[in-house]
Amino acid sequence: DYTPPPYEGPSGEEILAKRKEFLSPSMFFFYKKPLNIVNGKMQYLFDENGRRYLDAFGGIATVSCGHCHPKVVEAIVNQTRKLQHSTILYLNNTVADFAEALAAKLPGDLKVVFFTNSGTEANELALLMAKLYTGNHDVISLRNGYHGNAAGTMGATAQSVWKFNVIQSGVHHAVNPDPYRGIFGSDGGMYARDVEEIIEYGTSGNVAAFISEAIQGVGGIVELAPGYLPAAYKMVKNAGGLCIADEVQAGFGRTGSHFWGFEAQGVVPDIVTMAKGIGSGIPLGAVVTTPRIAEVLTQRSYFNTFGGNPVCSAAGRAVLDVIAEENLQQNALTVGTYLKNSLTALQHKYQLIGNVRGRGLMLGVELVTDRELKTPAKLETLHIMDQMKDLGVLIGKGGCRGNVFRITPPLCFTKEDADFLVGAMDY
Ligand code: PLP
């Protein structure tokens, strides 16, 4: 029932005609003609003509509460009127209140919060902490993992499209525990033996960190084989390393069954990194760790200019409240399960769908031209995305072969939205 206000700015065509040379090439990654998005309301985006799109990508798994959720907007506006910035060199209760609320969502002794602006920075900081704390340098990450695009995190990232041939040393990429394409099928224990071998043959026997997503997002919504994380964590801990859970995509209730993705695997990390859903669209990230590990930074003069910005903190606090008040985690489970069942039914209808996977509202659909050979259907993926856009549904894509639909909508997505999405995919 929401009608966006009339748009009076230049059209997408006018922007392209006058300003194309100034625009980031990423604006042309998805659609032949990029959308000119001018408004957002909950699970919907609106273009220059007021045309409504169901946003099933959620700003890359970021808009947890819905676009421009009134409570989040109100928190931002109220805080902006009081104080926009002072730096983390001074106390501020908005920031302290948010840090406490965030720590309360984490298990065990994970309670010291360092704020950043993005997921990349959160992971850079986590890797730095692990190196300082352990005195070791070697990092283990998973092939097909994505952890960001700065020096350290690009090293930990293991997908060729995201690696730009700059020197990244000290990172070892473990065999990906991918039940659909991985060499050991669903045997989590076998994949973990590769971590053991890396430690034994590729390092001095001592490592700094193991970093992993609970469900790989950019890599095409890949769930890790059952039992993998507990076994890998044990080996890494035995080698003196810290275990980092990258919850940038899977956190904040997106997977439905748990608030954090790692909880479904029954592990407790030493460091948890987060971004995206934490701010529902406000640039914000965080690293949460134990007081003992945090000590390595408090001994030094670590801080960054915007980390702990009061406006971002007010937004983050409102996001936590909205997720709880509106039962968004439960909704992600209910609607996500419903949507996954409908997508699985589509798989029975179309040979093109090789695999449907994920949990909650973090779902992937992998397209293949041959189910036996699992030949990636890259062109079809782009074509269907374009067609779905014309029908009013936006989804993402990913996977290092570019053939996986990523469905990561705002967590207020409804069963009707799920039906609309599947209808557009089945068109
Ligand atoms: N970690 C994961 C799991 C991600 O999906 C991403 C971004 O997609 C990042 C880290 C990097 O976050 P950002 O793009 O905010 O730097």
| CATH code (residue 318) | 3.40.640.10
Among the listed residues 387, 391, 417, 353, the one whose alpha carbon sits nearest the alpha carbon of residue 30: 387
Domain presence at residue 128: yes
- Give residues with Cβ within 8 angstroms of 95, minimum separation 6: 88, 115, 308, 309, 310, 313
Query: What is the structure's pLDDT at 385?
Result: 96
Q: How far apart are CA 338 and CA 184, in angstroms?
A: 29
Is residue 246 lining ligand 1, measured as CB closer than 6 Å? Answer: yes
Tell me how far the alpha carbon of residue 123 lies from the centroid of ligand 1, in angstroms: 9
Determine contact, residues 366/401, Cβ cutoff 8 Å: no
Q: Residue 247: CB within 6 Å of ligand 1?
A: no
Within-domain flag for 368: no
Residue 162 pLDDT: 87
- Residue 164's nearest CA partner among 155, 175, 173, 172 is 155
* Model confidence at 165: pLDDT above 80: no
Q: Which residues contact 241 (CB under 8 A, 6 or more apart)?
A: 130, 134, 136, 138, 140, 206, 207, 208, 209, 210
**Domain presence at residue 87:** yes
Ordered DSSP codes for 273-330? EE-GGGTTTS--EEEEE-HHHHHHHHTTT---SSTT-HHHHHHHHHHHHHHHHTTHHH
Radius of gyration of the chain (CA): 21
Measured distance CA(54)–CA(389) in Å, rounded:
9
Centroid of ligand 1 to alpha carbon of 120 (angstroms): 6
Residue 29 in this model has a pLDDT that exceeds 90: no
Indicate if ligand 1 lies below 6 Å from the C-beta of 148.
yes
Asked whether residue 145 is domain-assigned, the answer is yes
* Alpha carbon nearest to ligand 1 atom 8, residue: 218
399 CA → ligand 1 middle, Å: 14
Residue span of the structural domain in which 185 resides: 70-325
What is the per-residue pLDDT for 166? 79
In-domain check, residue 232: yes
What percent of the chain has a predicted confidence (pLDDT) above 90?
Answer: 92
Choice from 57, 120, 154 to test ligand 1 binding pocket (greatest atom count within 8 A of CB): 120
ipTM score of complex: 0.99
Tell me if 31 is assigned to some domain: no
What's the whole-number mean pLDDT along residues 66-95?
A: 97
User: Using 50, 70 and 90 to split pLDDT, how confident is the model at 169?
Assistant: confident
pLDDT digits (tens, 9 = 90+) for 172-188: 999 999 999 999 999 99
pLDDT of residue 168: 77
pLDDT at residue 373 is higher than 90: yes
**What confidence tens digit (pLDDT) does each residue in 258-314 have?**
999 999 999 999 999 999 999 999 999 999 999 999 999 988 888 899 999 999 999
Token pair of 398, please? 């990913």
With a 6 Å cutoff on the Cβ, whether 116 touches ligand 1 is no
Mutate to test the pocket of ligand 1, among 24, 141, 147 (most ligand atoms within 8 A of CB): 147
Least-confidence region, from 80-94, 161-175, 265-279, 328-342? 161-175
User: Which of the four pLDDT bands, split at 50, 70 and 90, describes residue 391?
Assistant: very high
pTM above threshold 0.95? yes
Helix axes 291-298, 119-134, angle to 10 degrees: 90
Domain count across the chain? 1
Residue-wise pLDDT tens digits, 97-120: 999 999 999 999 999 999 999 999
Percent of the chain's residues with pLDDT above 70: 100
Would you say residue 373 lies in a domain?
Answer: no
What is the average pLDDT across 321-341?
98
- Angle (nearest 5°) at CA 159 between 153 and 164: 65
CA of 247, closest atom in ligand 1: 3
Whether 403 maps to a domain, the answer reads no
pLDDT band at 28 (very low <50, low <70, confident <90, very high): confident
